[in-house]
Amino acid sequence: MDGETKTSPWVYVGIGCTAIVVLGIVAVGAIGFLGYRWAKQVEHDTKDPAAREAKVMEVLGSERLPEGYHPMLSLSLPFVMDMAMLSDRAPDANGQIHGFDERGFLYFRLLNPAFKGKEMRDYFEGKTDDPSVLTRSGINLHLHSRQILRRGVFEAKDYPVMFLAQRGRLDMDQVRTNGINALMLVDCPRDARMRMAIWFGPDPDPKATAESASLAGTPADEAALREFMGHFSLCRGAP
């Protein structure tokens, strides 16, 4: 068919490039739309007390929160992490909670199964004293430890929880604490995703040594930790 006009291959290249550009625009638009919907959902879950409580309870796998604690925030970053916060401060007249009085609880579930958290485990086990591993884990958390009080492992809801209790300051966005905090790693038997929790509260005797301090009922008390964490089922829904 010698009479036919042959189409230059550059035409197809041009069509392909145009298609890529169009797809790129569509993808950016889709991402923008999904981002907008996500932001609106976060705004709704934050401002609506009932929705906020339901989301916090879902993330924590809880049917009843510890006495004196209120659902402050729950946030899901797609493909990154789920998080939930509890505060000892009661909601205001608009149902909102701003900050903490003395105590609080933070929970993070990293959604990337590739992150194994070896550096984090080394820190918990005392193989390293570098708290910057918290920031490198992807959590915007800065710890200024003054004194390690206790390390250990306990069972909660049929899964082990590794804990590290210490005196020090904890900074994360709007969270500012200075007292006793317990960092906890939760090992779900059928899910390798890292789960970390932090329970913090005041130091009843800041000048006492780790050996002489009365730590009963504080985040450095293993019995109190076990009772507090018993309110949650952090491995619920793990594959």
Both structure tokens of 225: 């930790």
pLDDT of amino acid 70: 96
pLDDT per position as a tens digit, 42-55:
454 556 889 999 99
pLDDT per position as a tens digit, 160-201:
999 999 998 888 776 778 899 999 999 888 887 889 999 999
Architecture of domain 50-229: 3-Layer(aba) Sandwich (3.40)
Kindly list the domain boundaries of the chain, sorted by start residue. Answer: 8-47, 50-229
pLDDT of amino acid 122: 83
pLDDT score of 210 more than 50: yes
pLDDT of amino acid 45: 52
Instruction: Give percent helix, percent strand, percent coil of the chain, each to the nearest 5.
Output: 30, 30, 40
Share of the chain above pLDDT 90, in %: 36
Contacts of 165 (CB under 8 A, 6+ apart): 148, 149, 150, 151, 180, 181, 182, 183, 215, 218, 219, 220, 225
